[in-house]
Amino acid sequence: MAKNILVITGSARADGNGSELAKTFIAGARSSGNAVRRFDAATKIIHPCRGCENCWSKGRPCIVDDAFNSLAPYLQVSDILVLVSPLYWSGLSASIKLITEKMVAYTLPNRKKNLRIKEAILLGVGATDKVEDFDLMKAEFNRLCEVFDWKNGGVVVATGVKDPGDIDKNVALQEAENLGKAIQ
């Protein structure tokens, strides 16, 4: 059965390696008949969570009216969430973290909507050649899966990719495409 997949990218480089990894995953997922929506977080204005505990008080997840509230309807109808992030200071990019922090609205007892997401996937890219440098990013992702009770649908990391085009011959492209194709 086809799935609704939301791909959130977190790189400020529109033509960067993360974007290419996302495109390849999306092509694979669409080839299996899935519906995919892409949201480029780094190009949107999303303010940090203020911890004000006023989630849903205005009928939307966040009291601050920013791009997170326009993303929320897609979060609510997606079966699978895919986070695509460059490796920044050993973890997820700030634009991804802004979104995941605001997702606290979906953990509160007073929430007006629930998430349908049952599975999450992580796609990471970084200039480092050491796969262990992605450990903190993976830990952040695993914690999200734990908090929201999502199945970890897979992790693909592309090491040694810094400049645009570095990913072109990286095995991670094929891994991401295969992961997308496997979603039924």
Cα angle for residues 180, 123, 49 (degrees, 5° grid): 120
Report residue 65's pLDDT band, with 50, 70 and 90 as the boundaries.
Answer: very high
User: What domains are defined for the chain?
Assistant: 4-181 (3.40.50.360)
The whole-number pLDDT of residue 14 equals 84
pLDDT tens-digit profile of 161-174?
A: 999 999 999 999 99
- Tokens of residue 167, six digits: 């990913």
pTM above 0.85, yes or no: yes
Query: Alpha carbon 109 to chain centroid distance?
Result: 24
Query: In 10-114, at which residue ranges do the beta strands (DSSP E only) sit?
Result: 35-40, 80-86
Query: Alpha carbon 58 to chain centroid distance?
Result: 26
Q: Count Cα atoms within 13 angstroms, Cβ side, for 97.
A: 12
pLDDT tens-digit profile of 92-115?
A: 999 999 999 999 999 999 999 999
DSSP string, 104-117: GGGTSTT-SS----
